[in-house]
Amino acid sequence: MHTLVLKFFEFFKSCLQFLQIITLFGVLLLLLYWTQNLLGDNWAWLGFITPFLDNVVDFASNLSDGAVKLFTTMFEFKYMIAVLFFIIVYFVISIGMKFMGRVEEFYDDSRIAYRKHEEDVLNKQLDAQITAEQKSIKKYKIYVAAGIKENLKKEGVEVNLEEQLKVMKDFLDSKIDVEAVVWENGWIYTFENFEKIDNKLPIFYKLITSTAPLDYTICVQVCAGDTNREIEQLKKLIGLKFVNKITMFFDTMLRYKYNDRKKYLVSQVGVYHDGVDSFQVHEFKEIE
């Protein structure tokens, strides 16, 4: 439809341009015809258009049949009126072309505005759909593991790791009302409402800021239904060996952005490659 409308505008403007040319050509022929009559001559090559010019001049004579004498030549008003008529037609066509240009501009602007409106509506629908999909993800897991601080290892400081892990586990169990599952040399806690993750993160930040001689690996992973993928992502996070950070993949960071209330910032730790694949790692950061 849009193509047909554009072709219509182009056709109409072309017709008007053609009429302008015809009008100018008519003025030229009329001036030559007038010159021929002033000279009292008969130019044969004007014969093809003479009947039309006669009709034009006859029509003009109905408006005024007077004349004015300049020097020895009589200038009849009917020729002047005929020429003036063609000139007026030329300018009317010019106005029509400008009007058509404005109509075309209005059509283009209206079409752009309508498409922008459609895009806005579509974007809002898409945003609403994405928001609904993200908010439907409720379940998430937090993995926690610990090891002796590297500087203490280098200094040869004796630390009873088993005892320290027991203290850590007792602390977590006293603060968290779900049972942990042993996995990958650590524990996984599974929660059912991601909207309330901000109530759980302070517990794990207390580990990081504690004076215990331990480095903590803490990872968060949303559960969107693809268990194998989620386990794979957790293993990749653990393998990167970030300590004393609460890290997550992009999908978890994205889900957090759709929480109604957020007490933490999220920032990108880096982009990492695994063969041909690449993935983003982000971390929760406390607002200072």
Per-residue pLDDT tens for 21-43?
Answer: 888 877 887 777 777 766 666 76
| CA neighbours closer than 13 Å in the CB half-sphere of residue 26 | 23
143 and 123 housed in the same domain: no
CA dist., res. 76 & res. 41, Å (int): 16
> Whole domain around residue 92: which residue ranges?
2-133
State the chain's maximal CA–CA distance in angstroms: 131
Phi, psi at 152, each rounded to 5°: -70, -35
Question: What number is the average pLDDT over the span 123-152?
Answer: 94
Q: Given this model, what pLDDT does residue 126 score?
A: 93
161 and 60 housed in the same domain: no
State the pTM of this model: 0.66
Q: Which of 103, 133, 163 is the last residue of a domain?
A: 133
126 and 153 housed in the same domain: no
Query: 218-252: per-residue pLDDT in tens?
Result: 999 999 989 999 999 999 999 999 999 999 999 99
282 and 155 housed in the same domain: yes
Residues 216, 288, 178, 213, Cα dihedral to 10°? 30
Q: Of 204, 189, 272, which Cα lies nearest the Cα of 243?
A: 204
271 and 241 housed in the same domain: yes
99 and 159 housed in the same domain: no
Strand partners, 37: none
Q: Which of 77, 103, 133 is the last residue of a domain?
A: 133
Strand partners, 69: 74
CA dist., res. 80 & res. 170, Å (int): 110
152 and 230 housed in the same domain: yes
* Helical residues (DSSP H) of the chain, grouped into ranges: 2-39, 50-63, 77-135, 150-155, 161-175, 201-208, 227-240, 250-257
6 and 97 housed in the same domain: yes
Give the number of domains in the chain: 2
* Token reading at 185: 């040399």
DSSP state, 137?
-
Contact 195, 259 (CB under 8 A): yes
17 and 116 housed in the same domain: yes
CATH code of the domain in which 142 resides: 3.30.70.1230
Give the list of residues 6+ apart from residue 146 with CB closer than 8 angstroms, or none: 164, 165, 168, 186, 207, 214, 215, 216, 217
Q: Which of 133, 163, 181 is the last residue of a domain?
A: 133
Residue 203 pLDDT more than 60? yes
71 and 166 housed in the same domain: no
101 and 169 housed in the same domain: no
Query: 104-119: per-residue pLDDT in tens?
Result: 888 888 888 888 999 9
158 and 50 housed in the same domain: no
